[in-house]
Amino acid sequence: MLATAVDVAGRTWARRGELREPESRGAVLLGLVLVVAGVVAFGSVLDVVGEGDGLAEADRPVLGWLVAARGGPVTAFLTAVSAVTGPTVLPVVVLVATLAWGVRTRRWWEPALLAGAMVLSTLVSVTVKAVVARPRPPLSTMSVPGSESTYSFPSGHTVGTATFLLVLGYLVWIRRPHVRPLLLWVATTGAGILLVAGSRLYLGYHFLTDVTAGLALAVAVLGVVVVVDRRRALRAARMTAGAPGHDAGSEPAG
């Protein structure tokens, strides 16, 4: 399955110039690959958590190492990062960003899709937490003992931040799919996810498998967004092509 996903991604990338074309089915296929990859990765992490082997064997050693390395200035900085990307501040950031985007561009599809992706990732995260019901790390390892009372798996901070950065980057990039902005998107998103996931580990509120599962869920949500966005573009192109007086040389919708 992994080899197939890599092959599809490679062939799609080779035809990246066609990705923004509404008639292209490559982007829809790539979105489906992302959904499958995210779900499979999440299932694999959930399995090792239940069995206590594989990546789960690193949970407590990594937690213990980070707790031992904790220092004042770094703790203060990562506490601020964790607060900004938490369930209180991040929704406000998303709301402001989507409203500003829609008002400035007068296009509401992309902001609405970003907001919908955030709602979807939150609902999935909350549901999985309740079903899996994995306890948090010991209170003695938390930067502020008892400040987190919800279940641990997956990391909601990681799910939210990763979804926001991945989906926002995609919606911006797909309109102008060039190499330089793609590299910038990958670098910025990777750094942001690493910072937030690392803060949750460093502060002792999550295990390594919690943040890994959060990232996997965000990748699956990104795949859903890609499929929905490109299928809408395809339908719009077909409607435009069938409209009376359609100019075949006009720019495709989407």
Using alpha carbons only, what angle is made at residue 84 by residues 148 and 203, rounded to the nearest 5 degrees? 45
- Over residues 173-186, the pLDDT tens digits come to 887 777 787 888 88
Which of 64, 89, 68, 65 is closest to 79 using CA atoms? 89
Residues of the chain with pLDDT under 50: 246-254
Return the DSSP state at 134.
Answer: P
What three-state secondary structure class fits 213?
helix
The confidence score (pLDDT) of residue 119 equals: 94
Task: Give the pLDDT of residue 247.
Answer: 47
Tokens of 47: 């399995």
pTM for this predicted structure: 0.83
What per-residue confidence (pLDDT) applies to 79?
92
Q: Does residue 145 have a cis bond before it (omega within 30 degrees)?
A: no
CB 115 within 8 A of CB 98: yes
Chain centroid to Cα 215, Å, comes to 6
| 185 touches 172 (CB < 8 A) | yes
Residue 143: which of 71, 212, 208, 81 has the closest Cα? Answer: 71
Residues 180-192, buried b or exposed e (16+ Cβ, 10 A)?
Answer: eeeeebeeebeeb
Q: CB atoms < 10 A from the CB of 54, how many? A: 13
In the chain, the amino acid numbered 142 is M
